[in-house]
Chains A and B, each alone.
Chain A
Amino acid sequence: MSLMFSSPETLTRQFEKNRRRVILSVVAVFLLAAPVWWVTTEVYRAPLPIADIRAWTKPQALRQKLAIDIDLHFSGLPEGQTSTDIAQDVNKQLAVIYQSAEEGHVHVDTTKEQASAGIVGEEIVVPNPDVRLSFNVQAAHNATGPPSENGRYSIHVSCQSSSAIPRIHVDAGRSVVIGLPHCNEDVVQTLVGTIAGLFADEQAAYRSILNPSNPTVNTDWDNMRTMKYARKYQLTLSLLVANPSDMIVGWDIKDAIDAYIHPFLDALNDISIFSVHSQVQNYATLPITPEATNKDGSDIHIIQPHVLPQFINSAQWNLASVVTMAPPINFILYIPSQSQKPLHLVKANGDILSTNAFLMPRWGGIVIANPEANSSTYHYDVQELLPFMEIFISQLRDLLGVKTIRIPNAHLILPGVKITYSQAPMTGITLWEHDRLVRWRTIQNIADAAITLNSLATLIERLESMVVLDIIQTQVLQALGSLQSAHTSLQSSSNHTQSSLHARAAITASESAFFDPTMVAMLYFPDEHKYAVYMPLFVPISVPVLIAVLREIKRWKQGRKKKEHAKKE
């Protein structure tokens, strides 16, 4: 009723009030709805501890200390010398060599004179400040058996050796026996030289892990051969026969593997586990043609070193497995056809390679055999397979990163000392080599896990619309936790077995996070698509609202001006 009688001015005023309310409420709804819309269309990204991950790439984060405990046993030590004093002196000198390495190269004192004589660069260098072996040499008084844990070694010094020249014997079981005719001040030098020498290569190897681009590191070639670490490898031994119509070849491979390969693999089962397969393949043709040539009056076929990379016929030879994801290591015994026999590998200078074998870095090893063709069949029994198994084991050592323990430049460090090394027992690997491999893999796994996590963080930061599931977060946290435990257990104790387990857990968790199938899937809605879909709704709605808002502001400003004018007047 009242409306009917109200004047047009009142109506307009009321309407303007209403209009303002409408516009304000529409804008309010828009503003309130925007966060809801934002949240409901957002991709799920579990938060990752990016800062913690980045912290592991800083050099000081990877600074490790590898503690090595050495027990000294003396027999027949002359009066006036105590084993404790000797141990202290040895400790001091080793600390000088291995710990003040920040400046770079430190030489073992005894070699100074010779080093200046022009053999610089061949002495012991301890170049890596990041991963450092730290020795704790102590005198042991009660005789115990050989140490049973990684990182603890014993040295037995006998001061009344019957032979005139000093002798050092490196045992297969974590101990060294030093026989000296008499113990004078030289005993400290001998001990320092022995310990520093035995661990020198190991110390140098750590440098290349953390500085892979460093060109001065001479162990790079070794590392390029070595397989990337995996918890499980698949070993495949293949007998490839080029032409079975010349000769059908068989082998007693099961017994040979049980006798020669398995002891070696069992010794490594705390690092990796191996499943060993074997197969026979016939009509395995080479993708390359060997050169026919005449040497010493007999016709032979040779393969030059530069064509060896093409030796593997990966299109024809069934070497891959369809059921396992474990990295494969292949060993091939190749029997050439009658028309290509005898087939030999030659060195670059044309000499025939006596082993007739070569190693494919990070792939496996190949041996060529030329059995005598007396009948249409040939069977390799276990004894005949022995030389091939020896080659395969030495190739396997290279592929897995087993390094022979030697004192480098022994004639310079320990002049006039006769050094002997125990051979590997039936396993094909000594405890010294095994321990070193465990420590090396630990450091490498820590470094690799840090790098993998870092790449993951970079990837996730780059691709903003990528989904990151909770499982990735859990794995990343696990990896970080294991990295931390590995680091702490290295710093606080000499329990290398424990830290190797942590390092392994770290690399496993970080890799499974990085290679998770959900990370690879690119099925997500990029922002451009989102906007394209909403454009037909947002543009026609927002234009009238925006115009109305602008007009309202304009009107409001005009209204204020008018009021001010009115006031002034």
Chain B
Amino acid sequence: MVFSQGHWWWASLLCLVWLGQAQAGVAITDESYNEDLRFTQLPDGKVLSEFKFIRRIGPLALAKVRDNHYSLLPRSVGEIVQTFGVEELHLTFTQGTWNHQKWGYSPLGAAAGVQLWSWFNTSSVDKQWKGLTHALAGLFCASLNQIDQSNTAQPLLSFLPEGDYGEELPQDVLELRYGSLPHEAVCTENLTPWTKLLPCQTQAGIASLFNAYRLFDGHYHSMGTHIRPIITDDAGRGMEFVQTLSVVLNPLRLDNRKDWSLSSLFERKIASACALASDTKVVVTVPSHPASTLNSPPLSVLTDSHERLSAHYNLDLSTPKDTDFGVTWEDSKVDHGVNRSRWYIDAHRYQTGYGGERGGLAVDLRNHHPTADLDIIYFEAIPWYLKLYLHTLRAETAADASHEIIKDMYYQPAIDRGRPAVLEMKMTLPANSTTTLHLEFDKAYIKYTEHPPDANRGFDIGAAVITFTAIPESPPSPHDIPPQVRIHTETVLVSLPTPDFSMPYNVITLTCTLMALYFGSVFNMLTRQYQPVIVKG
């Protein structure tokens, strides 16, 4: 080899390097990784598991990322953020609908299907948005590339930046894009690439519980990928990369008992703590009831004003491998679960209208607060093939009619195959009342190539998003609640007039036959002679 002989130039290099090292000193790492797992037993006995994988990348590490040197942040994510000028990114894959009435509020609740919104810090946003959706489609094996201009919206109020931007007002320099795919089926093929982004993959830490058979067997499953800028302690710009997964599993289904443990929910136990995590927390929240017993002694137990008991555990490398967190109920009939904090607002959306041409949407917005009127923001992006009639929009309320419900409205009409109709409204919901929004539309007759392969199933209309500022309960909940709370309605399945797909050929055949008949008779008339036959008798 050439290099075994050429010591002198390496030696000169070493000098350079040594100088460089004196500057850099010992390798400083300003990255941190935490894992957080919360179990909550819901009032109907189901168990909600919320996994959070939080990576905080400090300014030094972020500078290295800009030079394409990755350590804790996965390269694929870093490349996407840099290539497409993404400042903030929120992507969720959800199966099932979060049941607000029964389960209360979850910060990890998301619209069914795929929901993606992102703040860009770049000039050519539309091009970068297209690139982003295509890159994410490749990364997560999803059909995100189908988010194109015709189902991309730019909400004004509903999706404010969630990152820490310091002094500057991010809305002035950044641009937002929002897209959703309500019909996307979330499955193992999306989970696998998502888990590959975790520092310990599924080999250690709380992610070792991921058993795809069990995760996708639940009532609700949502996995999220969130990137946002943060300001670190030393006032430098950093980045936070959070992966979340929440799943609602039902222990009652198997043996009709409310007992649950890791092994009964996931058929797995936590193999060991992830060596890279500086902190691994497990919190079990159960109702404070004498019939319940925690399976393993916690580090600390807190009881809050709602009679909820949360047991805190810390996992590290010394934690025994067979720790099986869970709750045993002495009396299986006990009808207690945790009433999670309600945010007083829930929403329910359904379809009205009849026939293949006219349709309509109705949304019930309920304010359960006994005394206070609550302000909300209602956002809806409706695909262009539903032709909205804005004059049919009306808000009905059972409360005092003197209330003005819609305070402000932003409406962007759709362009065929170009963009969706976007409706965003500031509303005030009167205390303890139900407000119903009505909106009518015509169903467009779309081109036969625009129908999906399962054309007769219908088209999913993405969830409406209701955003509001939470009124803190007293005392303020210990959960880290974002300033804006978002709940999502159901998706709606609309069936459009569906053609008979063999029709083009039928039409051709029928027309051709008519033409042939017509031509044949005219031709015969012209080329045959009709003359009287003289019969000689």
Q: Is the CB of B5 within 8 A of A259?
A: no
Specify the chain A residue showing the minimal Cβ separation from B75.
A279
Q: Is the CB of A544 within 8 A of B9?
A: no
Given the known A-B contacts A11-B531, A12-B529, A322-B76, are A252 and B24 also in contact in the complex, defined by CB atoms under 8 Å? yes
Q: Is the CB of A277 within 8 A of B70?
A: yes
Bound Cα distance from A322 to B24, whole angstroms: 31
Q: Is the CB of B16 within 8 A of A259?
A: yes
Partner of B17, one of A283, A379, A383, A545: A383
Decide yes or no whether B249 CB sits under 8 A from chain A.
Answer: no
Q: Is the CB of B139 within 8 A of A322?
A: yes
CB neighbours (8 Å) of A386 from chain B are 10, 13-14
Bound Cα distance from A339 to B18, whole angstroms: 34
What's the dominant secondary structure at chain B's contact region?
helix
CB neighbours (8 Å) of A243 from chain B are 275
Partner of A533, one of B74, B75, B508: B508
Decide yes or no whether B509 CB sits under 8 A from chain A.
Answer: yes
Bound Cα distance from A425 to B5, whole angstroms: 12
Decide yes or no whether B12 CB sits under 8 A from chain A.
Answer: yes
Partner of B275, one of A244, A280, A382, A383: A244
Decide yes or no whether A165 CB sits under 8 A from chain B.
Answer: no
Q: Is the CB of A423 within 8 A of B6?
A: yes
Partner of A252, one of B2, B27, B72, B201: B27
Given the known A-B contacts A245-B317, A323-B80, are A283 and B3 also in contact in the complex, defined by CB atoms under 8 Å? no
Decide yes or no whether A394 CB sits under 8 A from chain B.
Answer: yes
Q: Is the CB of B203 within 8 A of A545?
A: no
Partner of B2, one of A256, A280, A379, A394: A394
Partner of A322, one of B27, B67, B138, B276: B138
Specify the chain B residue showing the minimal Cβ separation from A533.
B508
Decide yes or no whether A254 CB sits under 8 A from chain B.
Answer: yes
Q: Is the CB of B21 within 8 A of A255?
A: yes
Q: Is the CB of B526 within 8 A of A540?
A: no
Bound Cα distance from A11 to B531, whole angstroms: 9
Decide yes or no whether B200 CB sits under 8 A from chain A.
Answer: yes
Decide yes or no whether B69 CB sits under 8 A from chain A.
Answer: yes
Chain B 502-518, CB-CB to A under 8 Å as 1, else 0, gives 00010011011101110
CB neighbours (8 Å) of B138 from chain A are 322
Q: Is the CB of A280 within 8 A of B71?
A: yes
Specify the chain A residue showing the minimal Cβ separation from B135.
A322
B41: min CB distance to chain A, Å = 32
Bound Cα distance from A18 to B526, whole angstroms: 8
Q: Is the CB of A548 within 8 A of B275?
A: no
Specify the chain A residue showing the minimal Cβ separation from B523.
A544
Q: Is the CB of A426 within 8 A of B9?
A: yes
Bound Cα distance from A6 to B72, whole angstroms: 106
B3, B72, B79, B197 — which one has the most chain A CB atoms within 10 A of its CB? B3
Decide yes or no whether B370 CB sits under 8 A from chain A.
Answer: no
A315: min CB distance to chain B, Å = 9
Bound Cα distance from A316 to B512, whole angstroms: 59
B450: min CB distance to chain A, Å = 15
Specify the chain A residue showing the minimal Cβ separation from B521.
A544
Q: Is the CB of B523 within 8 A of A548?
A: yes
CB neighbours (8 Å) of B13 from chain A are 259-260, 386, 426
CB neighbours (8 Å) of B272 from chain A are 245
Given the known A-B contacts A250-B27, A322-B138, are A279 and B70 also in contact in the complex, defined by CB atoms under 8 Å? yes
Decide yes or no whether B527 CB sits under 8 A from chain A.
Answer: yes
Listed stretches A19-27, A134-142, A155-163, A459-467; interface member: A19-27
Bound Cα distance from A381 to B72, whole angstroms: 18
Residues of A176-230 contacting chain B, CB below 8 A: none
Given the known A-B contacts A394-B2, A423-B5, A536-B513, are A278 and B76 also in contact in the complex, defined by CB atoms under 8 Å? no
Chain A 110-150, CB-CB to B under 8 Å as 1, else 0, gives 00000000000000000000000000000000000000000
Q: Is the CB of B529 within 8 A of A15?
A: yes
A259: min CB distance to chain B, Å = 5
Residues of A272-293 contacting chain B, CB below 8 A: 275-280, 282-283, 285
Q: Is the CB of A259 within 8 A of B17?
A: yes
Bound Cα distance from A426 to B9, whole angstroms: 6
A241: min CB distance to chain B, Å = 9
Given the known A-B contacts A390-B3, A390-B10, are A255 and B526 also in contact in the complex, defined by CB atoms under 8 Å? no
Decide yes or no whether A541 CB sits under 8 A from chain B.
Answer: yes
Specify the chain B residue showing the minimal Cβ separation from A320.
B76
Specify the chain A residue showing the minimal Cβ separation from B509.
A536
Partner of B75, one of A255, A321, A541, A544: A321
Specify the chain A residue showing the minimal Cβ separation from B12.
A426
Given the known A-B contacts A536-B509, A544-B523, are A283 and B20 also in contact in the complex, defined by CB atoms under 8 Å? no
Residues of B1-34 contacting chain A, CB below 8 A: 1-3, 5-6, 8-10, 12-14, 16-18, 20-21, 24, 26-27, 29
Decide yes or no whether A47 CB sits under 8 A from chain B.
Answer: no
Q: Is the CB of A19 within 8 A of B16?
A: no
Q: Is the CB of A318 within 8 A of B74?
A: yes
A303: min CB distance to chain B, Å = 21
B422: min CB distance to chain A, Å = 29
Q: Is the CB of A423 within 8 A of B9?
A: yes
Partner of A541, one of B1, B29, B515: B515
Decide yes or no whether B483 CB sits under 8 A from chain A.
Answer: no
A400: min CB distance to chain B, Å = 14
CB neighbours (8 Å) of B505 from chain A are 533
Decide yes or no whether B352 CB sits under 8 A from chain A.
Answer: no
Decide yes or no whether B520 CB sits under 8 A from chain A.
Answer: yes
Specify the chain B residue showing the minimal Cβ separation from A254.
B69
Decide yes or no whether B407 CB sits under 8 A from chain A.
Answer: no
Specify the chain B residue showing the minimal Cβ separation from A355.
B1
Decide yes or no whether A304 CB sits under 8 A from chain B.
Answer: no
Decide yes or no whether A4 CB sits under 8 A from chain B.
Answer: no
Decide yes or no whether A509 CB sits under 8 A from chain B.
Answer: no
Given the known A-B contacts A245-B204, A245-B272, A277-B75, are A404 and B2 also in contact in the complex, defined by CB atoms under 8 Å? yes
Q: Is the CB of A425 within 8 A of B9?
A: yes
Q: Is the CB of A536 within 8 A of B69?
A: no
Q: Is the CB of A323 within 8 A of B27?
A: no
Residues of B52-101 contacting chain A, CB below 8 A: 64, 67-72, 74-76, 79-80, 83-84
B69: min CB distance to chain A, Å = 5
Decide yes or no whether A393 CB sits under 8 A from chain B.
Answer: yes
Q: Is the CB of A544 within 8 A of B520?
A: yes
Decide yes or no whether B102 CB sits under 8 A from chain A.
Answer: no
Specify the chain A residue showing the minimal Cβ separation from B520.
A544
A350: min CB distance to chain B, Å = 22
Q: Is the CB of A254 within 8 A of B64?
A: yes
Given the known A-B contacts A250-B29, A321-B76, are A276 and B68 also in contact in the complex, defined by CB atoms under 8 Å? yes
Decide yes or no whether A72 CB sits under 8 A from chain B.
Answer: no
Decide yes or no whether B196 CB sits under 8 A from chain A.
Answer: yes
Decide yes or no whether A8 CB sits under 8 A from chain B.
Answer: yes
Decide yes or no whether B350 CB sits under 8 A from chain A.
Answer: no
Decide yes or no whether B519 CB sits under 8 A from chain A.
Answer: yes
B532: min CB distance to chain A, Å = 8
CB neighbours (8 Å) of B84 from chain A are 323
Q: Is the CB of A248 within 8 A of B17?
A: no
A288: min CB distance to chain B, Å = 18
B110: min CB distance to chain A, Å = 23
CB neighbours (8 Å) of A379 from chain B are 26-27
Specify the chain B residue showing the minimal Cβ separation from A26.
B523
Bound Cα distance from A256 to B83, whole angstroms: 24
Decide yes or no whether A537 CB sits under 8 A from chain B.
Answer: yes
Residues of B332-368 contacting chain A, CB below 8 A: none
Partner of B3, one of A23, A257, A258, A394: A394
A23, A252, A280, A394 — which one has the most chain B CB atoms within 10 A of its CB? A280
Decide yes or no whether A501 CB sits under 8 A from chain B.
Answer: no
Query: Can you report 8 A-B residue pairs in the complex whose CB atoms are below 8 A from each other?
Result: A16-B529, A236-B75, A245-B317, A254-B64, A278-B68, A279-B69, A390-B3, A548-B523
Nearest first, the 3 A-B pairs at minimum CB distance are A540-B516, A423-B6, A537-B512
Binding site for B on A (CB under 8 A): 8, 11-12, 15-16, 18-19, 22-23, 26, 236, 243-245, 248, 250, 252-260, 275-280, 282-283, 285, 316, 318, 321-324, 379, 381-383, 386, 390, 393-394, 404, 423-426, 428, 533-534, 536-537, 539-541, 544-545, 548
